[in-house]
Amino acid sequence: MLRQGIFALALCRRRPPGARSVHSDRKIMQKIVTNHSTNCPGLVDVLKKFVGQNYDSVIRCNPARISRARGSSENFDLRVNSQIGDTGSFKCIARSGTIVQDVYIMAKVTSPTSKIQSVEDLENQINLCLPRRAKKTKLRKARERSNAQCTVSSDEEKLLEFF
């Protein structure tokens, strides 16, 4: 009787197959460098999710220098700044409030099975790992930018017609 109760309890705690991570937290954290005692709030959680989803493509994630910015961002944001050479190193910038931190990501871009081949692929993979609030903010800002570009181009057309 006791054995059946323990087995039933173990079955209740089991996660559904889609929710379970293939790699353990220990393996994921081996690819994230944690030399610093301070990181941008929310950065480690996003990097854990990113490395868990792209375990075979990512070699290492290295959060680097942290500083303060004059401007403030509403939500946590992780953006790809540039690609460093052709070796698969990328420089990203994490922002949360007035805190800014550089993050260097090394990926296997030459591997045919890698999900990360370019800056755009890395941006897409990072966007999948951001919190829902940050995704909504990014989408809203992109829409505002596209609307602003449309109004600028129509204003330019009006000026050209005038002259």
pLDDT in tens, 105-127: 998 888 888 888 888 888 888 88
Name the average pLDDT for the chain.
Answer: 78
- Distance CA(104)–CA(64), nearest Å, equals 7
What per-residue confidence (pLDDT) applies to 2? 46
**Average confidence (pLDDT) over 10-26:** 56
Q: Establish if 144 belongs to a structural domain.
A: no
* Domain residue limits at 84: 23-138
| Assessment of whether the complete model's pTM goes beyond 0.75 | no
What per-residue confidence (pLDDT) applies to 113? 81
- Distance CA(135)–CA(12), nearest Å, equals 32
Residues ≥6 apart with Cβ < 8 Å to 11: none
Q: Establish if 85 belongs to a structural domain.
A: yes
Answer whether 81's CB lies under 8 Å from 93's CB. yes
Q: Establish if 15 belongs to a structural domain.
A: no
The band of 152, judged by pLDDT with boundaries at 50, 70 and 90, is: very low
The closest of 5, 9, 7, 53 to 31, measured between CA atoms, is 53
Q: Establish if 10 belongs to a structural domain.
A: no
**Average confidence (pLDDT) over 41-64:** 89
Instruction: Provide the Cα torsion 149, 93, 57, 85; round to 10°.
Output: 80
Q: Establish if 7 belongs to a structural domain.
A: no
Q: Establish if 160 belongs to a structural domain.
A: no
Quick one: DSSP state of residue 35? Answer: -
Q: Establish if 154 belongs to a structural domain.
A: no
Look at the chain and report how many structural domains it folds into: 1
Q: Establish if 55 belongs to a structural domain.
A: yes
